Homo-oligomer: A and B are copies of this chain.
Amino acid sequence: MSMYVVGHKIPDSDSICGAIALAYLKNQIGEAATPTRLGEVSPETAFILEKFGVETPELKLSYAGEEVYIVDHSELTQAPDDIAEATIVGIVDHHKLGDLTTSTPLECWIRPVGCSNTIIKMMYDFYNVEIPKDMAGIMLCAILSDTVIFKSPTCTTADIKCVEALAEIAGIEDYKALGMEMFKVKSAVEGTPVRDLVMRDFKDFNMNGELVGIGQLEVIDLAVFDEIKEELEADIAAMKVEGNRHTMILLLTDIMKEGSELLVVSDNEELTAKAYGKATENGRVWLDGVLSRKKQVVPQLQDVFA
């Protein structure tokens, strides 16, 4: 029986590249595995896969009766809809421990590092499997993306060492330049429908029974949003209603200025004041130094909802 390796809904580069790299590793150690995805690939991910000549995984939404290896999350809301009817054989992740449970033993490679692909590199080392150049390239890009080229507070020395080792394998001399090239692709928002932008890197969280949707757009200059910010705000307000959500937040992250503007629509008007010590003005608030949804946005919200 072949297992499927799949990341979260609205896949980011870590989910897609991680599924590909982990499926390759599993096949090398004699466990048949196929990488799949739960949604469209982002322009950033498309850039990475094209750059290293790697095929886009097949779109697959249903996993009932299948064996599944989960990448980059451990949350029911981010997993395939019918995950309860599948057998989870493993999880590789670098987030807080979510509400996925299993009825049989499994393997979990979960570490508090900046990117799932850093952990997948550890798995290659553990199984003593050589990493091909193309796999090294896509893994490296996923780590540069998740760690915002090492600027994110989620970045650890393990991530940096991993990128350096992968760069050597892939034969990439200036990986920071590659990272900037990638973030320039990510910053091209013109001409994209606002809903597509909000959904590009979007996650729903179950916070003590309330649904909280948080999107993030990382760009090299927030000016690209000047003309569409009101449209973005109207759209997250619509998504709040459509999804019966308690709160919708969109993080507009400036990776050069190293901070994020939050666009917020919430049933709790004091949410950002309570979570981050700073109230919104007209539904907007700038948080200096905030680059990481996972580390600087979600836990603080979770505490407010607790």
- Say if the beta carbon of A112 comes within 8 Å of chain B: yes
Residues from chain B with a CB closer than 8 A to the CB of A128 are none
Distance between Cα atoms of A268 and B177 in the complex (Å): 65
Stretch at the interface among A144-152, A275-283, A294-302: A294-302
With A106-B112, A108-B108, A112-B106 given, is the CB distance from A99 to B101 under 8 Å? yes
Interface size on A, residues (CB 8 A): 30
11 contacts between A and B (CB under 8 A): A91-B108, A96-B105, A97-B108, A103-B303, A104-B112, A105-B111, A105-B112, A106-B112, A107-B111, A108-B110, A110-B110
Judging by beta carbons under 8 Å apart, are A97 and B95 in contact?
Answer: no
Distance between Cα atoms of A299 and B28 in the complex (Å): 30
- Say if the beta carbon of A100 comes within 8 Å of chain B: yes
- Say if the beta carbon of A62 comes within 8 Å of chain B: no
- Say if the beta carbon of A65 comes within 8 Å of chain B: no
Distance in angstroms from A196 CB to nearest chain B CB is 29
8 nearest CB pairs, A to B: A108-B110, A105-B112, A108-B108, A97-B102, A103-B302, A96-B102, A107-B111, A103-B299
Residues from chain B with a CB closer than 8 A to the CB of A98 are 101
- Say if the beta carbon of A121 comes within 8 Å of chain B: no
Chain A, range 69-106, C-beta contacts under 8 Å to B: 74, 88, 91, 94-106
Distance between Cα atoms of A117 and B266 in the complex (Å): 47
Nearest CB in chain B to that of A99: its residue = B101
Contact of A96 among B104, B110, B154, B306 (CB under 8 A): B104
Question: In the complex this chain forms, how many copies of it are found?
Answer: 2
Residues from chain B with a CB closer than 8 A to the CB of A91 are 97, 108
Residues from chain B with a CB closer than 8 A to the CB of A94 are 105
Distance between Cα atoms of A296 and B104 in the complex (Å): 10
Residues from chain B with a CB closer than 8 A to the CB of A101 are 96-99
Distance between Cα atoms of A110 and B104 in the complex (Å): 12
Distance between Cα atoms of A289 and B165 in the complex (Å): 48
Judging by beta carbons under 8 Å apart, are A295 and B105 in contact?
Answer: yes
Distance between Cα atoms of A179 and B110 in the complex (Å): 33
Nearest CB in chain B to that of A97: its residue = B102
Judging by beta carbons under 8 Å apart, are B97 and A100 in contact?
Answer: yes
Distance in angstroms from A92 CB to nearest chain B CB is 10
Distance between Cα atoms of A112 and B112 in the complex (Å): 21
Distance between Cα atoms of A97 and B302 in the complex (Å): 22
Distance between Cα atoms of A101 and B95 in the complex (Å): 11
Residues from chain B with a CB closer than 8 A to the CB of A294 are 105
